[in-house]
């Protein structure tokens, strides 16, 4: 059988002849060997030439199983033959440097430089905001930046889930005002810091999962009359959350908020903080395009050629009906988690989180009416690059559990494509791009049809951080600045081993667990209790690591690169002064400096609180 091959970024072909963009690439399976044996490349005519691979090719782990291939007709959109991945725009090529595939710059990002700039600070002056998810990591970085750069901004209403006004104020003080992130503002305002903050920040009790976003009548009327910009930063980011829970906040929530936005008389812009990974299992260069209601990535990729369009209302009803059945116990919770993953993967998304976020975008686009919309799609958001100071972090972000477990000697290998790319972007760059987009599009409504603008804030297309390089950076950091064990002895870690085979990774985990527990050194058979205890510890350690790898596998073998042409074009609108104060050019990130001197020290200080 012939089928298009979607490779992970590590797949490499030694091609004696150059492959052109008009070429189509198919792989033929050998039924006897049950493997992918050769690649046929042909132009418009269909005559092909066979290219033997340097090493066995393997199908991207993003597919339903490792033996599955995608069927696409020869007359379908072009394939990016240089990278052997489907390219949504059908005309992108790549170069390969040391086995790492790098996309050529997309020519669509025309330069539109402006000496005057966007006028970000002047736009913020006097504007009133409504922000959801305001006690979350990214929202706090945004609030701090706005108050520091534009202290004469108007009221910022913060939707906070709390039982009453007093509880909301208490959360505001403990989770926002008292955090280290705001130390620059604290130093600037001195004794008047708290009065300044409470004058600008107005906590209102509510919940975007509820009708009218849970606002009291008086609060709803005030905000609807005053607010200029709405920013939705509320989300449930657990990859394998219960389907009903994730749908409630990530899908139904944005729809509820848009319903309220349409009541706001002065509203200039609705901004949705999404994620670049709403693109699911799309491959190759992934463009900054909005979702329309019913879009289905599985259908795009021909995973399910006859599948009907995605019906968001039906998905919400399905989850609600499933949640009502049976008792609310641990088994029921697991079934709801499994349901979310099953539905996500059947439609072409890797997990419940990104699936429900994508449906949230669909809800916004289908109900927005005449409301101008901006969708911000950051990739993996990590610690601040420089503002308000380098390395600020809160909680374990996506890659951080692996980084910290490795530094503490608890994880010496991981399941990852060594030549693959971890798409990371610092939190302050996401905030800067968000504010630039608000200034660009937050103009008064006109008679023209309202726009929906998408900005992907990501590094993989223009400044990729390769996993094997990341492993070296982690090793060099912990080699020079090791963590300490409970006795104050430095923990010396080896270079992390990267595995692209589940079996090899499992073998490594078991051997490593045995060595660390002392089983490899021999335990007296007479001491059966100790032996059983050590075996139990080893088993739990292996299970936890494998669980972590299973959750992260769709991201550590991700086959797409996020185009950020709109984001780069936005940067070109800014003045030099704005670029200095609100810069977000991910192409300028020095990964060695950021990972070793900013991010890991920030993790150890703000997450581990110096305990390592």
Pairing of the two strands 284-286 and 424-426: unpaired
Alpha carbon dihedral 382, 598, 498, 412, in 10-degree steps, equals: -110
- Yes or no: say if 193 and 186 are a contact pair by the CB < 8 Å rule: yes
Give the 3-state secondary structure of residue 159.
strand
Phi, psi (degrees; rounded to nearest 5) at 130: -120, 120
| Closest CA relative to residue 257, chosen from 157, 183, 338, 185 | 157
353 included as an active-site residue: yes
- Yes or no: say if 108 and 572 are a contact pair by the CB < 8 Å rule: no
Q: Give CA–CA dist 257/220, Å, rounded.
A: 12
Q: Give CA–CA dist 26/41, Å, rounded.
A: 7
Rounded to the nearest 10 degrees, the angle between the axes of helix 467-480 and helix 400-407 is: 40
Listing DSSP states for 194-220 in one string gives HHHHHHHEEEEE--TTSGGGG--HHHH
Provide the sign of the torsion angle of the four alpha carbons 528, 529, 530, 535, taken in this order: positive
Looking at 243, 277, 347, 353, which residue is catalytic? Answer: 353
Which residue in the block uniquely carries the two structure tokens 């609100």?
Answer: 582
Looking at 357, 408, 419, 440, which residue is catalytic? Answer: 357
289 included as an active-site residue: no
Q: Give CA–CA dist 554/531, Å, rounded.
A: 36
- Yes or no: say if 414 and 369 are a contact pair by the CB < 8 Å rule: no
Spell out where 477-605 has E strands. Answer: 497-499, 560-562
- Yes or no: say if 320 and 305 are a contact pair by the CB < 8 Å rule: no
- Count of alpha carbons within 13 Å of 432, Cβ hemisphere only? 24
- Yes or no: say if 421 and 469 are a contact pair by the CB < 8 Å rule: no
Residue 153's DSSP bridge partners are 125
Could you list the active site residues? Answer: 353, 357
């Amino acid at each position: 059988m012939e089928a298009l091959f979607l490779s992970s970024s590590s797949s490499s072909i030694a091609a004696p002849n150059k492959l052109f963009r008009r070429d189509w690439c198919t792989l033929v399976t050998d039924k006897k060997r049950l493997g992918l044996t050769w690649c046929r490349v042909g132009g418009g005519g269909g005559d092909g030439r066979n290219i033997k691979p340097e090493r066995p090719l393997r199908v991207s782990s993003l597919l339903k199983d490792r033996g599955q291939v995608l069927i696409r007709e020869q007359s379908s959109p072009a394939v990016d033959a240089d990278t052997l991945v489907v390219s949504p725009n059908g005309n992108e090529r790549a170069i390969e440097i040391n086995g790492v595939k790098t996309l050529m710059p997309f020519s669509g990002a025309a330069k539109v430089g402006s000496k005057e700039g966007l006028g970000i600070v002047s736009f913020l002056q006097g504007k009133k905001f409504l922000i959801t998810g305001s006690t979350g990591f990214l929202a706090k970085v945004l609030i701090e930046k706005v108050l520091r750069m534009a202290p004469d901004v108007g009221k910022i209403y913060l939707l906070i889930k709390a039982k009453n006004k007093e509880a909301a104020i208490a959360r505001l003080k403990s989770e926002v005002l008292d955090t280290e992130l705001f130390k620059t503002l604290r130093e600037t305002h001195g004794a008047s810091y708290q009065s300044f903050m409470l004058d600008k920040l107005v906590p209102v009790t509510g919940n975007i999962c509820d009708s009218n976003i849970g606002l009291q009548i008086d609060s709803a009327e005030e905000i609807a009359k005053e607010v200029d910009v709405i920013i939705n930063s509320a989300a449930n980011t657990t990859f394998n959350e219960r389907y009903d829970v994730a749908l409630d906040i990530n899908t139904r929530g944005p729809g509820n908020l848009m319903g309220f936005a349409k009541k706001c008389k002065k509203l200039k812009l609705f901004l949705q903080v999404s994620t670049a990974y709403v693109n699911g299992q799309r491959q190759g260069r992934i463009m900054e395009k909005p979702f329309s209601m019913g879009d289905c990535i599985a259908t795009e990729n021909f995973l399910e050629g006859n599948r009907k369009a995605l019906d968001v209302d039906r998905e919400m009803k399905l989850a609600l009906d499933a949640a009502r059945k049976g008792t609310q116990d641990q088994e029921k919770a697991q079934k709801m988690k499994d349901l979310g993953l099953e539905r996500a993967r059947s439609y072409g998304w890797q997990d419940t989180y990104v699936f429900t976020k994508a449906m949230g975008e669909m809800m916004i686009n289908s109900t927005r009416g005449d409301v101008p919309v901006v969708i911000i799609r950051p990739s993996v958001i990590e610690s601040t690059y420089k503002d308000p100071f380098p390395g600020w972090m809160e909680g374990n972000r996506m890659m951080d559990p692996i980084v910290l477990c490795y530094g503490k000697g608890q994880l010496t290998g991981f399941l990852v494509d060594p030549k693959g790319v971890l798409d990371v972007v610092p939190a302050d760059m996401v905030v800067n791009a968000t504010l630039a987009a608000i200034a660009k599009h937050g103009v008064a409504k006109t008679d023209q049809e309202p726009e929906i603008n998408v900005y992907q804030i990501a590094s993989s297309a223009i400044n990729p951080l390769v996993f094997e390089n990341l492993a070296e950076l982690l090793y060099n950091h912990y080699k020079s600045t090791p963590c300490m064990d409970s006795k104050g002895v430095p923990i010396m870690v080896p270079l992390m081993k990267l595995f692209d085979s589940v079996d090899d990774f499992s073998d490594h985990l078991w051997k490593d667990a045995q060595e660390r527990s002392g089983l490899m050194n021999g335990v007296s058979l007479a001491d059966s209790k100790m032996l059983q205890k050590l075996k139990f510890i080893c088993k739990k350690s292996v299970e936890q690591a494998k669980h972590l790898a299973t959750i992260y596998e769709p991201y550590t073998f991700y086959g797409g690169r996020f185009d950020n042409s709109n984001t780069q074009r936005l940067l070109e609108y800014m003045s030099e002064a704005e670029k200095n104060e609100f810069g977000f050019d991910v192409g300028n990130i020095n990964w060695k400096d950021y990972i070793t001197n900013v991010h890991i020290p920030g993790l150890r200080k703000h997450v581990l609180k110096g305990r390592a």
